[in-house]
Amino acid sequence: TSLSLTSFDSSLVLPIVVERLKFCGQYEYFNAVLINEVDEEGNNVELGGEFILEPSDHFNNLSVNLSLSVVQVPTNMYNKDPDIVNGVYWSEALNKVFVDNFERDPTLIWQYFGSAKGFFRQYPGVKWHPDEHGVIGFDCRNRKWYIQAATSPKDVVILVDVSGSMKGLRLTIARQTVSSILDTLGDDDFFNIIAYNQEIHYVEPCLNGTLVRADRTNKDHFREHLDKLFAKGIGLLGDALTEAFMILSDFNQTGRGSVCSQAIMLVTDGATEMYDDVFEKYNWPERKVRLFPYLIGRESAFADNLKWMACANKGYFSQISTLADVQENVMRYLHVMSRPKVIDHEHDTVWTEAYVDSALNDKSGPTLTTTVAMPVFSTKNETNQGILLGVVGTDIPLQELMKLIPKHMLGIHGYAFAITNNGYILIHPDLRPLVTHFLSITFTPEHSHSIP
């Protein structure tokens, strides 16, 4: 931001060095959805338990528990998965950190840790309610603050195979895979999507030969075009790869993109060749562009070529056989893309654009908020590259930032504003969310906690 926030104490969100503990036996945690739920006989449900909640003035009279955090696990994941339970277990140490932070700075609101495994630990503890379908769609790893903090800005070309063999379920999975990749891109990233068979089709023909910013409008626009893809003909991957390398290189030359981090995501049901001639021409020996192949379908006859291509271009191979596998497999590339940050010990804080915190609307209208976040890495030695454990973050009401503005220095008609590095207004005296009619806010809340 263009303001220097001298009184913001960044140690509040400093990464916590965490050691993975051996976990054995039964371990229960407070699940944000299950707390205070009882079964037909009146017993607490598993992972529920009695959790005392009291209305707090500071949280707009929302019922919270100021001594403990709660854990949310996305509906599509198993809430007793050993990886999740293990992570929830070691991250329990955060309770004390959250409480201490809040004591030190009573203006703090939500503090949280979003794990790379998918769970979300939030302080203060609060009950979450699923939507009318019984689902909680919230996955912290898709949130802007998470992606911005976990990865460096990147330029991404997504290649989708639309040759005849992709008909039916494969194409459905491929669309979902592309859509999940889009979820992992944020305002700092640039992208384009190319479908290929014997020809190359830009999914949005107007954006032939370039990359666009991965903001919400552009991503939604491309998603609409994905439905129009259909499978026929034969796939000429070599031409598609060539096109991808060329637009990445051209785009880098414009100096508009990320400069350091470029990737090609390849969504296909197989490659009959290794295309070393293409890589030789465009990517070797520096291997500046990483290649992430996603093999769609159950067959693994063509896996070897794709694995080789991933290794030869510093990427990561994944196979996606069912729709349920899509998200977890797509997320894995984020670990690889965050490695440069781990190696350089980059613990940059990131700030999101202003958004409405739907949980904290008060009588004077919606509360505008920003999130400040920072990645957390394991410093264990056995993986000399380090592992991304997740992202810590805290929400900051913009009123708190406004209070830091030194009014006496501005003069009578002076005012201060701040914009983010992406050109979004963060604070401005006239910044207001657009309320089209009663309680319908056109801004999508960043968190969409399903809290009434």
Ligand X SMILES: *[C@@H]1O[C@H](CO)[C@@H](O)[C@H](O)[C@H]1NC(C)=O
Minimum Å gap between C-beta 240 and ligand X is 10
Contact at 8 Å (CB) between 287 and 260? no
What DSSP line would sit under 290-343, residue for residue? EEEEEEESS--TTHHHHHHHHHHTT---EEE-SGGGHHHHHHHHHHHHHHHHHH
What DSSP line would sit under 110-125, residue for residue? -EEEEETTS-EEEESE
Which amino acid does the sequence have at 293?
Answer: P
DSSP 359: E
Residue 291, beta-bridge partner list: 264
58 lines the binding site for ligand X (CB under 6 A): no
Residue ranges in 218-237 that form contacts with ligand X under rule CB under 6 A: none
**Helices and strands in the chain: count of H runs, count of E runs:** 10, 21
Q: Which stretch binds ligand X (CB under 6 A): 53-61, 180-188, 221-229, 424-432?
A: 53-61
Among residues 39, 46, 54, 220, which is the contact residue for ligand X, using CB under 6 A? 54
| 58's tokens | 């500071």
381 lines the binding site for ligand X (CB under 6 A): yes
Which H/E stretch holds residue 87?
A: helix 82-90
Minimum Å gap between C-beta 421 and ligand X is 19
> Which residues neighbour 315 within 8 Å (Cβ) at sequence distance 6 or greater?
263, 290, 291, 292, 293, 309, 333, 336
Residues 267-306, one symbol each (x = binds ligand X by CB under 6 A, - = not), give ---------------------x------------------
57 lines the binding site for ligand X (CB under 6 A): yes
DSSP 284: T
Contact at 8 Å (CB) between 420 and 426? yes
Residue ranges in 338-377 that form contacts with ligand X under rule CB under 6 A: 362
Size of the site for ligand X (CB under 6 A): 22
- Strand 289-296 and strand 365-378: pairing? unpaired
Residues 3-42, one symbol each (x = binds ligand X by CB under 6 A, - = not), give ----------------------------------------
Give the Å distances, CA to CA, from 268 to 163, 184, 199, 230, 243: 9, 19, 15, 14, 16
Instruction: Give the E-state strand segments of 32-135 in sequence order.
Output: 54-56, 62-65, 70-72, 111-115, 120-123, 125-126
Among residues 135, 259, 324, 343, which is the contact residue for ligand X, using CB under 6 A? 259
202 lines the binding site for ligand X (CB under 6 A): yes
- Strand 289-296 and strand 318-320: pairing? parallel
Among residues 31, 32, 48, 51, which is the contact residue for ligand X, using CB under 6 A? 51
Residue ranges in 182-201 that form contacts with ligand X under rule CB under 6 A: 200
Among residues 151, 152, 262, 338, which is the contact residue for ligand X, using CB under 6 A? 262
Contact at 8 Å (CB) between 118 and 81? no
Closest to ligand X by CB, 192 vs 370, is 192
Find tokens 């854990």 and name the residue: 71
Closest to ligand X by CB, 288 vs 428, is 288
Minimum Å gap between C-beta 67 and ligand X is 4
Among residues 50, 132, 227, 430, which is the contact residue for ligand X, using CB under 6 A? 50
Q: Which stretch binds ligand X (CB under 6 A): 3-11, 61-69, 115-123, 174-182?
A: 61-69
177 lines the binding site for ligand X (CB under 6 A): no
Q: Which stretch binds ligand X (CB under 6 A): 7-15, 63-71, 233-241, 273-281?
A: 63-71
Closest to ligand X by CB, 191 vs 351, is 191
Q: Which stretch binds ligand X (CB under 6 A): 3-11, 64-72, 320-328, 333-341?
A: 64-72
Closest to ligand X by CB, 82 vs 106, is 106
Minimum Å gap between C-beta 252 and ligand X is 4
Closest to ligand X by CB, 57 vs 132, is 57
Find tokens 């991304």 and name the residue: 388
d(CA 341, CA 381): 16
Minimum Å gap between C-beta 381 and ligand X is 4
Contact positions vs ligand X (CB under 6 A)? 50-52, 54, 57, 60-61, 65-68, 200, 202, 205, 208-209, 252, 259, 262, 288, 362, 381
